[in-house]
Amino acid sequence: MLLTVQWKDDSLLLIDQTKLPTKLSYVYCKSYQDVAAAIKQMIVRGAPAIGVAAAFGLVLAARRSNSRNIGSLLRDINKAYNIIRATRPTAINLQWGLDRLMKKIQNIQSVSKVKEIMLDEAIQMAEEDIFINRSMGSIGEILLSDGDTILTHCNAGSLATVAYGTALGVIRSAKESETRPVMQGSRLTAFELQYDNIDISLIPDTAVGYLMTKGGIKHVIVGADRILNTGHVFNKIGTYQIAVLAKCHNIPFYVAAPLSSFDLKNDIDDIVIEERSKEEVTKIGKKNIAPTNIKVINPSFDITPPDLITSIITEKGIISPPYKTNIKIMMNTK
């Protein structure tokens, strides 16, 4: 099993996802600045993986601090919190990971104890992530039948989590078809499934509707970077249009996400949709494929409304409509 995020040699070890699929290599983050850069540069990506990596970033801030009193240490940790928090605005798991560690050290007055508690909690978060994803996989598996062809979008597998995956955790034994953006489907999902010797077919985004008309897709399963209490799902750009097509062709559309991806406080207009670099659209590698100085709109995420979602798979069970009522019930069972 690929371990995307792991604590090793008093540092954070990450798979460098910018090098995939041609090279499986690793990056050591020895400071919180290294972690912030890794998140910003998408060396590590995927909401659950970012959340755990961010937590380890705070651990590094504490462990590298020379402060000898609790007030000074907390100032160093808060500085790291703000820098890491600013790296990716859309996925809620980033703030969840940071806030979970900050809450854990409230009212602790010992410098050494704070450092110990933070590391223990971050390691526990990493272990929980794998357990949660396996739980989602076993819960969601009942929705599928042997021989089904499953469509997924972007990457919601081991590389988007500490290990195992959310959407791919449900469909690791099923056939795959998918792609995009920053080529995360062709680069990452395809790499993962081939790594596990799972049969996969890669298709362009524009072929989704055609294959649905041919009856070639039985289910759609995607991950999520944030889910509101209304059931609105923020996920990689292109998810919404696939959901529309699935609805049109009466194909079940499932979202697999841990409860840490749920945001019960904010409304749609409160969420910042991350805008990615225009070079992701105008270049392939170093080669220009668009006119110089052309305007580019390149949002990284879109919003899928609840009426297009058949159900949401979590580690605690499957949530069905009406989402505003049933999400609240599920969250109260945590």
What are the strands of the beta sheet with 200-202, ordered from one edge? Answer: 200-202, 175-178, 149-151, 219-222, 253-256, 311-314, 317-319
**Residues with active-site annotation:** 225
Residue 206, burial from CB neighbour count under 10 angstroms (0-12, 13-18, 19+): exposed
Say how many Å lie between the first and final Cα of the chain, rounded: 27
Q: Based on C-alpha coordinates, what's the Rg of the chain?
A: 20
Q: Are 254 and 224 in contact (CB under 8 A)?
A: no
What whole-number distance in Å separates Cα of residue 30 and Cα of residue 9?
Answer: 9
Helices (H), 105-189: 111-140, 167-171, 184
Q: Look up residue 194 and give its two tokens.
A: 């081939």
Give the three-state DSSP class for 328. helix
Backbone φ, ψ for residue 210 (5° rounding): -60, -45
Nearest in space to 97 (alpha carbons), one of 1, 161, 26, 156: 161
What whole-number distance in Å separates Cα of residue 108 and Cα of residue 197?
Answer: 48
What whole-number distance in Å separates Cα of residue 275 and Cα of residue 40?
Answer: 12
What whole-number distance in Å separates Cα of residue 7 and Cα of residue 122?
Answer: 9
The packing angle between helices 47-64 and 70-85, to 10°, is 150
